[in-house]
Amino acid sequence: MVAAVVFDMDGVIIDSEQVWDEVREELVTDWGGRYSAAAQRAMMGMSSPEWSRYMHDELGLSQEPEEINAEVVRRMLERYHGELPLLDGAVDAVRALAASYPLAVASSSNRPLIDAVLETAGIAECFVATVSSEEVPRGKPSPDVYLEAARRLGCAPSRCAAVEDSANGIRAASAAGMRLVVFPNRHFPPDEEAFALADAVIGSLFDLTAAVSTIAGSRR
């Protein structure tokens, strides 16, 4: 039985994976590094300490990871304040599910970005807890951010449904022992092995409430 719902944010509430890619590529170019086609997929799901270290070590930036992290967050906030890329149906789905379940966010985004997105979208009050992977030891695909979200909700992970879009996020929620609704990222779709972990797959966030209700009454 499902007693709580945990949302990823990037790719589930906002259409932002390509924004992260653009911002990081621009920064690497501006600061004299070398971006690669594989870099975005490599960094998807990483916590901010992990991806800023990756940009330093693998993409050739001489600045310290802390400086890289701060500049990426600054540029991301600038983009969000210009236009928040909300996904169709996301706000309605959050509000509908909040009427029936306690909700949490388990995101790879930095804390300032999580807070800015939820406040700007007008849904911050819908969430009992929000967790950034910078607040736990390891980013996705490790389960840490989902386990911490369940802890803050006061709910066993096995009684939570996670909503995810990416391969690393799917693996993280599955490793935490949660039920899984997958809304595939259209820019960076999950691989078949990740899809196989899903309890439900939806093509629109307008279908999310029904998908959660279906798995809420089913057993694995």
Domains in the chain, please, with CATH?
4-15+85-216 (3.40.50.1000), 17-82 (1.10.150)
For 117, other C-beta atoms within 10 Å of its C-beta total 26
Model confidence, pTM:
0.92
In contact, 147 and 176? CB cutoff 8 Å: yes
**Token code pair at residue 19:** 């924004």
Strands 103-107 and 4-7: parallel
3-class secondary structure for 14-44? ECCHHHHHHHHHHHHHHCCCCCCCCHHHHHC
pLDDT tens string 149-208: 999 999 999 999 999 999 999 999 999 999 999 999 988 899 999 999 999 999 999 999
Category of 84 on φ-ψ map: left (φ > 0), alpha (ψ -120 to 50) or beta:
beta
**Token code pair at residue 139:** 């980013």
Catalytic residues, which ones?
A: 8
pLDDT tens string 3-46: 999 999 999 999 998 899 999 999 999 999 999 888 988 898 88
